[in-house]
Amino acid sequence: MSRYFTEDHEWIEVDGDVATVGITEYAQSQLGDIVFVEVPDEGKELSKGDDAAVVESVKAASDVYAPVSGTVVEGNEDLADNPALVNEDPEGEGWFFKMTLSDESELEGLMNEAKYQAFVSKL
C-alpha cells in the first residue's frame, strides 16, 4: 500500500485499484472537536480537486477535496453516528471514503509522508 498527501491535508492510501481518503492528523488538530461529517454517496464521480466531503468542528466547517479523480465505492457510515472518530484516529478508522482511481498518474503530483511532514513543519 502506498500513502500520499495533499497540500489541503488529505491523505490517500492506495491498495490495488481502490484508494481510501481521509484528513491528516494535522488537519484534525487544526479543526478541533469534530461534530459532523458528510461523506459522498456511493457511485459519485469525482474529479481531482472536487469537493468530496464536509467536516464540521466546533471551530469551523471545511470541505474535503478529492485528491485524485475516480468513483466513490464506499462512504464511512460510522462517521454519521460518531464523527469524533476523525479526532481519535484521523489516519485510520476516521477515514472518509473509498474510491476507484480513474487516472493513476494523478498520484504523481502528491507528496509522500516525508515531503508532507516537511510541508507541515513550515506552516
Q: How many CB atoms are located within 10 Å of the residue 109 CB?
A: 11
- For residue 17, the model assigns a pLDDT of 87
Q: Residues 31-78: pLDDT tens digits? A: 999 999 999 999 999 999 999 999 999 999 999 999 999 999 999 999
Residue 110 pLDDT grade (very low, low, confident, very high; cuts 50, 70, 90): very high
- For residue 120, the model assigns a pLDDT of 98
Q: Residues 84-105: pLDDT tens digits? A: 999 999 999 999 999 999 999 9
How are beta strands 18-23 and 2-5 bridged, if at all? unpaired
Average pLDDT over residues 107-119: 97
- For residue 20, the model assigns a pLDDT of 98
Listed by start position, the domains of the chain span: 2-101
Close Cβ partners of 21 (under 8 Å, ≥ 6 residues apart): 10, 11, 12, 52, 64, 66, 67, 95, 96, 97, 98, 99
- For residue 1, the model assigns a pLDDT of 83
Residue 14 pLDDT grade (very low, low, confident, very high; cuts 50, 70, 90): very high
The architecture CATH gives domain 2-101 = Beta Barrel (2.40)
